[in-house]
Amino acid sequence: MSSEELQLFIYQCQNGSNVELKCFDGNTLWATQQQIATLFGVDRSVIVKHIQNVIETQELKENSTCAFFAQVQKEGNRQVERQILHYNLDMIIAVGYRVNSAKATQFRIWATKIWATKILRD
């Protein structure tokens, strides 16, 4: 995938922290477990538990809501590439409603607005 296809969107949480969500494919937003935890103000372990429950109860399918994306970073004098698990907007919102429905609603409203703007722009 070329770098022109990657789009970044910044969500400002109620506590003032920012979360950078990525759009790799032009179709949805993606976030890591840690980013989802930051979005909803909880520990990453809480997010992991809820993701497992969403998948186990078949609320969402793992293969359509989870994907590995390469992350390249410099460590010392070398470039290291790691495959990092990301979750799409459907999973982010499903987990958000389980964790904190008020914060999930605010995030959903923001995501709907930025996505409508993106579609109109494209």
Residues 6+ apart with CB under 8 A from 37: 43, 44, 46, 47
What pLDDT, in 10s, does the model give residues 12-26?
A: 998 889 999 999 877
- Of 87, 88, 70, 90, whose CA–CA distance to 79 is shortest? 70
Under 8 Å between Cβ of 107 and 11:
yes
User: How much is the pTM?
Assistant: 0.87
- What is the extent of the structural domain holding 111? 3-121
Mean pLDDT of the region 77-93: 94
For residue 2, pLDDT over 70 is answered with: no
18: DSSP letter: E
Mean pLDDT of the region 97-104: 94
Looking at the 3D structure of the chain, how many domains does it have? 1
The pLDDT value recorded for residue 71 is 85
CA 63 to CA 60: how far, in whole Å? 9
C-alpha distances in Å from residue 112, one per residue of 3, 29, 30, 116, 117: 24, 11, 14, 6, 9
For residue 1, pLDDT over 80 is answered with: no
Mean pLDDT of the region 83-94: 96
The pLDDT value recorded for residue 106 is 94
For residue 44, pLDDT over 80 is answered with: yes
21-25, 48-52, 56-60, 91-95: least confidently modelled range: 21-25
For residue 3, pLDDT over 70 is answered with: no
CA 31 to CA 88: how far, in whole Å? 7
Mean pLDDT of the region 42-49: 97
Mean pLDDT of the region 5-16: 88
